[in-house]
Chains A and B, each alone.
Chain A
Amino acid sequence: MIQDKDRKREVIVKRVANELKDGNLVNLGIGLPTQVVNYIPEGVDVLLHSENGFVGLGPTPKPGEEDKDIVNAGSQPASHVTGAAYFDSAMSFAIIRGGHLDVTVLGALQVDQKGNLANWMIPGKMVPGMGGAMDLVVGAKRVIVAMEHTAKGEAKILKQCNLPLTAAGEVDMIVTDMGVIQVTPEGLVLTEIAPETTVEEVISMTEAELIISKDLKVMDV
């Protein structure tokens, strides 16, 4: 398995980026998912949605070129691309909930074999609130969880989430530093494995039952 922290994160975001299709409208969650933007393949034109009210999120502005009226959903200085559009929060979530968003990529505290996701609170410890996450996961056509496979050695891909859920049965795909897992009606299917990683390692770091695909490939990262 990959040991280097930066390489782990690169594997995850590169693989997620390869999943995006030309013309997709995509929302990237705060943190690791945000970095997906740096690896979108050439020729793939993706429009980014920002919950706070626009499509066409652009790169981080250079120091001194920030516009106080343009921030991303994490309140970091942002920019917009040519052809962007601004709107209010009702429109922003009409896009999300109404089935107009092709892909949402977000992190997770836990995911389970039914595609349940927990990523918004740890009772008694950390309660940041769900923000737009519940709407994103329910509304997006495809939900991709991008996260490190374990947290401090503890499994995050479980038989059943024990933290409060963000949504039930909405996750389609899990991309980690150890592999790619598809959520199917039959259960979790490991379809790709990370370089330098064995199937046994993935199984030992995963609490959920894993079906190993007959066509198991090495992640192209």
Chain B
Amino acid sequence: MNKIKTLDQALDNIKDGMTIAVGGFLGVGTPEKLIDAVIAKGVKNITLVCNDTAFPDKGIGKWVVNKNVSKVIISHIGTNPETGRQMNAGELEVELVPQGTLAERVRAAGAGLGGILTPTGIGTIVEQGKQKMTIDGKDYLLELPLKADIALIKGSIVDKKGNVYYNKATRNFNTLMATAADLVIIEAEKLVEVGEIDPTDVMTPSIFVDIIVE
């Protein structure tokens, strides 16, 4: 099975109104070519699941500036003033989620779990509307799985089967997003032959990856 596609072929799968999970932390480990291609195609009304909205000219922040997104599920928007402006103007829906909770909600979706229990957010506005449970005398919030239609991720080294190695701090949410979407598209910084990555060093197994672009 050939997973290697052109950017155009990969983009055929991305439609208006989809929920898209994107890897990266303030633009590091973000698939910039895929992000730019979505802008060029003019995809609208995306619900974005990502750690942050990065910067106006870097990473996923460009989707906010270009109005490709109508909702973001996110832990931090402070580095992109445009996100805050659109939120205050009522143009963009922002669901703020504590970073560790966001990671576990995505992980839960990818791992077939019905949710996770976390102490984070107890006693704050984050607990509003959520079920609380007491386990061994300690309070937890029930946080639900977060699944996407498409995941866009970035690998430092990707083999032609789709095994992925992430260099240094680029791993962040990429491994998690790769497990929690119906279709996973990876942008390879370096594409190598199958076997060139030691199986012990594979961080996302090829079974999660559907499409590879360079």
Contacts and interface: CB of A to CB of B under 8 A. Distances in A.
A131 B169 contact: no
Given A53-B171, A90-B176, A165-B124, A97 B118 contact: yes
16 contacts: A53-B25, A70-B168, A88-B174, A89-B172, A97-B118, A127-B77, A127-B94, A129-B78, A132-B99, A133-B98, A134-B126, A135-B120, A138-B120, A165-B123, A167-B123, A168-B124
Interface of B: 25-29, 51-52, 74-79, 84, 87, 94, 96, 98-104, 107, 118-126, 156, 167-176, 203
Nearest to A134: B98
Contacts of B169: 50, 52-54, 69-71, 78, 86
Given A53-B172, A88-B175, A97-B100, A168 B76 contact: no
Interface centre among B25, B74, B84, B173, by most A CB within 10 Å? B25
A6 B116 CA distance: 44
A51 B28 CA distance: 13
Contact of B107 (A52, A90, A128, A165): A90
A169 interface: yes
B173 A88 contact: yes
Contact of A89 (B26, B103, B167): B103
A170 to B, nearest CB: 9
Given A75-B27, A127-B84, A134-B98, A86 B168 contact: yes
Interface residues on A, range: 35 or more
A130 interface: yes
Given A86-B168, A93-B99, A134 B124 contact: yes
A89 B173 CA distance: 6
A89 B99 contact: yes
A131 B124 contact: no
A179 interface: no
A106 interface: no
Nearest to B156: A69
B119 A138 contact: yes
B69 to A, nearest CB: 15
A89 B51 contact: yes
The A contact surface, by secondary structure, is loop
Cβ-closest 8 pairs across A and B: A128-B78, A168-B123, A93-B100, A135-B100, A75-B26, A129-B76, A131-B76, A134-B98
A61 interface: no
A130 B100 contact: no
A82 to B, nearest CB: 14
B172 A135 contact: no
Interface string A55-77: 00000000000011111011100
Contacts of A33: none
Interface in A16-65: 50-54
Contacts of B170: 69
Contacts of A127: 77, 84, 87, 94, 96
A90 B178 CA distance: 13
Nearest to A165: B124
Interface centre among B87, B125, B156, by most A CB within 10 Å? B125
A52 to B, nearest CB: 4
Contact of B168 (A51, A67, A75, A92): A67
A128 B77 contact: yes
A149 B56 CA distance: 34
A90 B177 CA distance: 11
Nearest to B54: A75
A89 B122 contact: no
Contacts of B98: 130-135
A110 interface: no
A104 interface: no
Given A89-B99, A130-B76, 11 more contacts: A53-B172, A89-B25, A97-B119, A116-B123, A128-B78, A129-B77, A130-B98, A132-B100, A134-B126, A164-B124, A164-B125
A105 to B, nearest CB: 17
B28 A75 contact: yes
A184 to B, nearest CB: 19
